[in-house]
Amino acid sequence: MANICGCSVDTIQSIELGRLALSELLARKISNATGVGAGWLLENDLKAPLTSDHFEKFTIDIYNQRRSEYELGTLYEKRRTQRSRGIIGPAWELTTAAFYSWMRAIFATNDGNIAFWQTGKFLEKLAKQYGHNRRILSNARLELAALRDYNVLLQHADSGAKFIAEKYRNLRESEGIVRVKVKSRWWARRSVLRSQSKSRRGVRSQRRKRGAGQR
């Protein structure tokens, strides 16, 4: 488990023995690597049913499949296809677009140039820690200093602009499908409850009428 999650054996043992609280970051690392739900891990309720990160019963098959996908590097693509089929999960791409909006708003302040530099260094650190998908950006490393080369800067900017121009409409439509499916299930449940409520009100009304007639 320590090797899978990138932490020490002592850390795992301390958490298991209750000497150390499980952090949300480590819980998400475990969830990502094994398929078990991060929420289940953080709740720390051993009596609660073990669930996956897609809110279904967690099984050894889910674990084995997740490890296979993780080793092959296909986990990201699977999540994208699941969203297109209406399976609920993190909205990675839409959130990425939202982060772009956040950065534009933050950078458009008096100290925006400082925030701009800090963001670049933070992303550089994340790339060193987690790596990056070479199918999106083919560069061996993502480094802020490399963007001083105007050709490299254009290459990276073109990659982001291409996604927004070509994929965003389809992304919104697929997200809409997911939201419609969720709303449809909620609406169906609401309709059943409203129907039951109307039925109960109708029964009570008939009883009142019969009672008034008897008086």
Write out 42-53 in H/E/C secondary structure: HHCCCCCCCEEC
Task: Place 160 in a pLDDT band, splitting at 50, 70 and 90.
Answer: confident
* Phi, psi for residue 52 in degrees, rounded to 5: -90, 180
Residue, of 134 and 78, whose pLDDT is higher: 134
Task: Place 187 in a pLDDT band, splitting at 50, 70 and 90.
Answer: very low
User: What one-letter code names the amino acid at 55?
Assistant: F
| Mean pLDDT in residue range 130-141 | 87
Q: What tens digit of pLDDT does each residue of 1-42 get?
A: 888 878 888 988 898 888 999 998 899 889 888 889 888 999
Task: Place 186 in a pLDDT band, splitting at 50, 70 and 90.
Answer: very low
User: Is a pLDDT exceeding 90 seen at residue 76?
Assistant: no
* pLDDT score, position 194: 58
Q: State pTM to two decimals.
A: 0.56
DSSP state of 128: H
Spatial CB neighbours of 154, under 8 Å, sequence gap ≥ 6? none
Find the range with the poorest average confidence among 2-6, 58-62, 80-84, 89-93: 80-84
Nearest-angstrom CA–CA distance, 120 and 144? 6
User: Is a pLDDT exceeding 90 seen at residue 168?
Assistant: no
Spatial CB neighbours of 14, under 8 Å, sequence gap ≥ 6? 20
User: What one-letter code names the amino acid at 9?
Assistant: V
| Mean pLDDT in residue range 132-159 | 90
* pLDDT score, position 204: 61
* pLDDT score, position 136: 83
CB count within 10 Å of CB 138 equals: 10
* Average pLDDT for the chain: 78
